Amino acid sequence: MAEEKVMTPLEMLNRYYAADVAFESNRGTLWHKMNELLSWENLMNKDYQPELRPLLYYIIAKRMPNIDQAPPSDRGVGETIPHHIVDNLKNDYLRNLKRNMILLGEWERLRKEFISNDIKFITLKGAYLAENVYEHFACRPMADIDILVKEQDIERCRQILNEGGYVRMPEENQGKAIHDTYLQAGPCGEISMELHRRLTNALYGARFDLGGLWGGTYLPLEYNLVYLSWHAVRHSFVKLIWLCDCAELLRKYHAAIDWEDVVCKSDLYNARKQVQLCLHLIGSLLIPEISGRFPMSTKETVASQIGERILFTVQKTLARQRDPDFFTKLLTIHTMERKTLFKFAFAYLKQ
């Protein structure tokens, strides 16, 4: 009888995203390094990538409900998870369920206020993903609610937030800030709202056009994929849930995505390298068959190898509970166009 082994978090994510596709033959060096780093010990006891815990519990409860109860004869090798881990994941899931109910309930109230005052808005990142992309809104932790509004509506939004008990937080460098942060302290805990006037800081070179966005309350699908990829690379995937965000978007909407439009937008917004790297990492860690689904090349190149090394260095630094700030800048620099890089270096040295 084969020795029974514990399924790792990364193996669980593979099973979830890759469905019935065999991943074993496609596992490269990065996968094996990350599989060792993203251990249950680091995840549960060293506060490494805690944002993944609610999603992992959902996978166990909804997608693999018998993984920790079925007799070994009914499981494959490596298909078990200790009960104490499942119990702790469940507690994290329920805490996030409660937290997201509070955040999304408050955002629903504010949405009605914005609509009644004829304020155009777009829901970004976590709130959009939790409500529209993940199978259950409790799978995606949120630190805050991110909202994009028109520059001319900023003051009216501030007034609504102030009347709702929110207090604006001071920014260290207001001139470079792309959003204002508002906090509300209530009986159910602190709620943070980030009011964005644009998507990126010009220092980083991306040129996201906001002109044609205001017909709906979400970014268009292809636009969102480019933006989420850019944002994740810009912050060096410090939170691996950001890689899962893009994987979720691809898993749910892969048949609807217009890849020619993705290519066009990534070029237009100066984000092609970031999108390519994000897709490459998804293929390396989560969805092995993804490379055959789209026209953007994600073949193993020197650039992708450098990106992998920087990513792993960032993750290893985080797992050791150290600040990865220096290494996160390396991935930003690595994916910049040359003309943008010179401007970034000059501006950075002036600080």
Amino acid, single-letter form, for residue 211: G
Backbone angles phi, psi at 301, to 5 degrees: -130, 170
Averaged pLDDT, 294-311: 78
Averaged pLDDT, 61-67: 79
How many beta carbons lie within 10 A of that of residue 231, not counting itself? 20
* Separation CA 10–CA 225 (nearest Å): 22
**142, 105 in Cβ contact below 8 A?**
no
* Separation CA 44–CA 125 (nearest Å): 25
Each residue's pLDDT tens digit, 120-130:
999 999 999 99
pLDDT score, position 1? 43
Output the CA–CA distances (angstroms, integers) from residue 312 to 56, 229, 338, in the order listed: 21, 17, 24
Q: Where are the beta strands (DSSP E) in 227-292?
A: none
pLDDT score, position 48? 98
CA 204 to chain centroid, in Å, comes to 19
**210, 202 in Cβ contact below 8 A?**
no
Averaged pLDDT, 276-305: 79
- For the chain, the residue count is 351
pLDDT score, position 64? 80
Which helix (DSSP H) or strand (DSSP E) does residue 122 occupy?
A: strand 121-124
pLDDT greater than 70 at residue 69 = no
3-state helix, strand, coil in the chain (%, to 5): 60, 10, 35
Place of tokens 């965000």: 245
Please give the structure tokens belonging to residue 337: 């166009």
SS3 call for 191: strand
Amino acid, single-letter form, for residue 246: C
pTM of the predicted structure, to 2 decimals:
0.90
How many beta carbons lie within 10 A of that of residue 216, not counting itself? 10
Gap between the terminal Cα atoms of the chain: 63
* Separation CA 190–CA 192 (nearest Å): 7
* Separation CA 331–CA 268 (nearest Å): 21
pLDDT greater than 80 at residue 185 = yes
Averaged pLDDT, 327-349: 69
Please give the structure tokens belonging to residue 122: 């777009």
HSE at residue 105, side-chain half, CA atoms within 13 A, is 7
pLDDT greater than 70 at residue 28 = yes
Please give the structure tokens belonging to residue 139: 């799978």
The overall average pLDDT reported for the chain is 87
**225, 276 in Cβ contact below 8 A?**
no
Please give the structure tokens belonging to residue 202: 């010009």
* Separation CA 21–CA 184 (nearest Å): 46
Band of the pLDDT at 331, cuts 50, 70, 90? confident
